[in-house]
Structure 1
């Protein structure tokens, strides 16, 4: 009967295909009877975890700690309890820390991690006895990471003196494992915590026990800090002899040699053995500092003959080397080859703009700077540098109003930045906007009282414009006291003496400054003093030398118009 009924129903459908189906069933649908249990947020693990993550994204550690603390009580995942513990410790909530650690223990957290958390909590509340007990428990776990975590725990302590006491109690030479890295880590931690005698004892013990390159290098660093450069160099030599392929050791030894004035030996040391980006960079720095074009050329050729991968990794260094060799087109090609993920990509663009400016291609240079300003619009530090670069390029091109406008933009990114105020003050001074220039220099001195550069610049600007010469003298005298051998400060003083009519002192000061530094502005000032003293031939001789140094110098042009018969 059931089958017949079904067949009849099917037949009925077939004989009336165009008839709209009728709803013949009434009552409750199956889905209507399904009830979904909706947990309140305070009982929903996922909701709490999401709330915690959102709080972290907003840098609200306290809210994140609260949310993760609630999630830990609801979750059976020990990782959630561990995260809750970390956040509770970060906000120094002792009650929440205790609850989170207790929950973590119930969920069978790792013994080392639990002991570490309890030690950190004890340190946070100043309980030295309990902290020591938990540090001992960390060692007792036998975990290979125990000593590394002990160091991390003590470094996190808010009370360095307390951490130092515990370090000396826990990390004794008798208890430290047969692992040089643990000995060196504890010795370094002792240095950081001000426990220098302890650090020396452990460091010496490591060197006597392990005799490897790393322990010799650490002992060398300790000797260098103590001012014993000879002993430091001897120990570094032993370190490198033990591990000659270790570029870190060679770089450290080379740094000590360079700081001690032996740059030639430093360069020789780095030129032997394996090379990487850091050895190439330091070799370039040493060659440039020594103005050794031959060494620069050899290094450039050396890297260019390495594999494509090495050249690509060192494209920025190759660009700098090409610049030092005067190969500007090559430099631009290398800077263009710096990859987007290379940490030097920003600097490569900056150098490209500078090279283009040196080639007289200012439009191209400013185009690169504009691209930087767009690309780094959401990164204030880089954006500030891009505006400053624009200002420097305009200053060098004697477009002083444009330079001031660039520094203006920089100051919108970081108001009252003293470097940008100083740069704008110089631009205003060159543009003849003296009141604005003086205001910027005064603002720098308000923010940084006694700043030498600003004192000298303001003093010079006042003197150059015959304004407030008494104040100018006080400002330049302060700069001279701080930098008695600085030719720029001497130039300001000589020019002030000229404005005050003291020609003998002006000439003597400016002559000495000119001998120390062949700077165009100093030469122009000396020439003008000589001219006023009737020494026209010598004045012309100095101006001719200035013309060779900087033919486009604005002061030179003004002075020549003034002195031209």
Structure 2
């Protein structure tokens, strides 16, 4: 059994005139023409189309007859609307509006298009309607709204002015809100807003729109004066005090804004806009009170995902995890802000050391603001737990899902393995990646570094030479290869040439300056080495540079200075293995030298 058809939802935009009342009359004639001729009973009245007043057929047909194909097309549109085939209804009305140039049909097309959020069709039909009925305020308002959405503010203002003259209440605040997003556009239309405010000084909508423009151009005192005048004239127009609070904040008068909002919220406890502004301002002043306001907003608007998320975030940041969790779970049930909800539920699980729960939520975060962070944190959790198989599956899924980012995910997985000292697994992964993308410079570079960390200096140099063939002036590669060659006493002159070229290309790079200091030390130029290493450490307080400078100072006999440099380096990086290794090695060497001299 088929469900009963719902009426077309034209009541969302109630009509002010018939879609050419001719349509109802013509439909009556068309239906009666199809009735059996032998029927002697009085004919039944014609079906009333949604939003179409009955008009005597003879009167309307005298005004303007329509071709039968037009009537048929509009009839199909109405039937389609009743069957919820709104795209068909819109297409027919839109086509007939342009074909017939009938104001009623254009009005109907506009309302349907706006209901369906079909912006291009709504714009064209609204402009047509306004042209066909220049003295109809609703037509001018519809054109104003659609032109504003399209960004044609100058033309929108023309229609808004016509609407005001006809007694309509043009949506000038919406127009102003669009204008202030662009400084050049603001200055362009400002004179027209000023003229309208002077012409209609008692129209709160018009004056507030001008005040918004003044605020956008930082004319705060003038804007505040206008807003307060509107409040005196229209005490129930809450847009005015709301704008006042923004102006007070603009002038660093947050305390006054909060006091005003506190009074307004007490007077209008159900007015969400006021309470929301109050809650937002309180976030920086009193987080506990802000939380109370958001809790009340959620209570009043239990299905508003934005408010639920805001309250959840406050509770999350204040470590009220047991109160935050059900809010994020409610978002999942509502199907709103699902990625954010999963992200913060993962964070809650992570804080509770529930690795499996955290990863499960992180994996459900979709591409967007938190996506990369979710992948990073989730895979780090798995790596720290030694669950490399699970990580492998996740990264494989990511590479399949985002093939253009496959290289990035290979590198990300390899770095996690490297950080956990799984160098062999990392190298195997990059080897597999290079089989699929042999030309990737980043993969070649990572592969070379991994080979170096595993002691395969031949493979390391081969990779670096390969990269230099492609880009001989790559300072990073020149420095990396040169620094590695320092270890081979027979190749230090070659190392010096490579590092010198790198430093010439990037003279302010602390890593390259450190390399130059280290090669000078290895060549026996201690004072020159100290100069470079001090310069590098000043630019970048890195523990490896500190280890190098300390060693140079130590061998020159400046042992107190060396100890100070090392200790400072360990304060900045307590996990450093390089500094303790250097200290131990130098003390051992000193002991050996002392032993040799005693002998």
Question: Structure 2 length as normaliser, TM-score?
Answer: 0.51
Consecutive unaligned residues of structure 1, counting only runs of 5 or more, are 1-43, 50-64, 91-95, 224-230, 258-264, 288-294, 413-419, 446-454, 480-488
Q: Secondary structure of the equivalent of 1:303?
A: helix
Matches within 5 A, 1:496-535: 496-501=516-521, 502-509=528-535, 521-522=544-545, 525-526=548-549, 529=552
The Cα of 1:375 is off from its aligned counterpart by: 4.0
* Structure-2 change in CA distance of 1:353 and 1:118 (3 Å): closer
Q: Is the 8 A contact 1:403 1:427 kept in 2?
A: yes
Q: Is the 8 A contact 1:204 1:219 kept in 2?
A: no
Q: Is the 8 A contact 2:410 2:433 kept in 1?
A: yes
Consecutive unaligned residues of structure 2, counting only runs of 5 or more, are 1-71, 78-90, 232-237, 267-271, 296-307, 452-459, 485-494, 522-527, 590-599
The Cα of 1:356 is off from its aligned counterpart by: 0.8
Rounded to whole Å, the distance in 2 between the matches of 1:236 and 1:115 is 36
* Structure-2 change in CA distance of 1:283 and 1:236 (3 Å): farther
Q: Secondary structure of the equivalent of 2:294?
A: coil
Q: Is the 8 A contact 1:139 1:147 kept in 2?
A: no
- Structure 1 counterpart of 2:483: 464
Rounded to whole Å, the distance in 1 between the matches of 2:437 and 2:249 is 41
Q: Is the 8 A contact 1:89 1:97 kept in 2?
A: yes
Of 262, 279, 282, the residue aligned with 1:241 is 262
Rounded to whole Å, the distance in 2 between the matches of 1:326 and 1:280 is 20
Matches within 5 A, 1:169-248: 169-171=195-197, 175=201, 177-178=203-204, 186-189=210-213, 195-197=217-219, 201-206=222-227, 209-210=230-231, 214-223=242-251, 231-238=252-259, 241-242=262-263, 243=265, 246-248=275-277
Q: Is the 8 A contact 1:171 1:186 kept in 2?
A: yes
* Structure-2 change in CA distance of 1:440 and 1:563 (3 Å): farther
Q: Is the 8 A contact 2:479 2:512 kept in 1?
A: yes
Rounded to whole Å, the distance in 1 between the matches of 2:195 and 2:467 is 61
Q: Is the counterpart of residue 281 in structure 1 residue 313 in structure 2?
A: yes
- Structure 1 counterpart of 2:69: none
* Structure-2 change in CA distance of 1:396 and 1:269 (3 Å): farther
Q: Is the 8 A contact 1:151 1:189 kept in 2?
A: yes
- Structure 1 counterpart of 2:464: 434
- Structure 2 counterpart of 1:362: 388
Instruction: State the number of aligned residues.
Output: 431
The Cα of 1:357 is off from its aligned counterpart by: 1.8
- Structure 1 counterpart of 2:176: 151
The Cα of 1:504 is off from its aligned counterpart by: 1.8
Rounded to whole Å, the distance in 2 between the matches of 1:333 and 1:143 is 55
Rounded to whole Å, the distance in 1 between the matches of 2:256 and 2:438 is 49
Of 309, 312, 331, the residue aligned with 2:358 is 331
- Structure 1 counterpart of 2:191: 165
- Structure 2 counterpart of 1:57: none
Rounded to whole Å, the distance in 2 between the matches of 1:560 and 1:408 is 43
Q: Is the counterpart of residue 73 in structure 1 residue 93 in structure 2?
A: no
Q: Is the 8 A contact 2:144 2:159 kept in 1?
A: yes
- Structure 1 counterpart of 2:160: 135
Q: Is the 8 A contact 2:211 2:223 kept in 1?
A: yes
Rounded to whole Å, the distance in 2 between the matches of 1:408 and 1:184 is 65
Q: Is the 8 A contact 2:262 2:278 kept in 1?
A: no
Q: Secondary structure of the equivalent of 1:549?
A: coil
Rounded to whole Å, the distance in 1 between the matches of 2:570 and 2:534 is 20
Matches within 5 A, 1:403-414: none
Q: Is the counterpart of residue 494 in structure 1 residue 541 in structure 2?
A: no
Q: Is the counterpart of residue 316 in structure 1 residue 343 in structure 2?
A: yes
Higher relative contact order (CA 8 A, sep 6+): 2
Q: Is the 8 A contact 2:349 2:355 kept in 1?
A: yes
* Structure-2 change in CA distance of 1:470 and 1:239 (3 Å): farther
Q: Deviations over 1:286-336 (max 9, x none)?
A: x6xxxxxxx5xx422442477963797744224224435655455335546
Taking only aligned residues, the RMSD between alpha carbons, in angstroms, comes to 6.1
The Cα of 1:374 is off from its aligned counterpart by: 3.3
Matches within 5 A, 1:325-404: 328-329=355-356, 331-332=358-359, 335=362, 348=374, 350-376=376-402, 389-390=412-413, 392-394=415-417, 396-397=419-420, 398=423, 399=426, 402=429
* Structure-2 change in CA distance of 1:322 and 1:366 (3 Å): same
The Cα of 1:233 is off from its aligned counterpart by: 3.4
The Cα of 1:362 is off from its aligned counterpart by: 2.0
Question: Structure 1 length as normaliser, TM-score?
Answer: 0.54
Rounded to whole Å, the distance in 1 between the matches of 2:386 and 2:568 is 27
The Cα of 1:71 is off from its aligned counterpart by: 7.2
- Structure 2 counterpart of 1:251: 280
The Cα of 1:364 is off from its aligned counterpart by: 0.8
The Cα of 1:159 is off from its aligned counterpart by: 5.3
* Structure-2 change in CA distance of 1:123 and 1:535 (3 Å): closer
* Structure-2 change in CA distance of 1:346 and 1:233 (3 Å): same
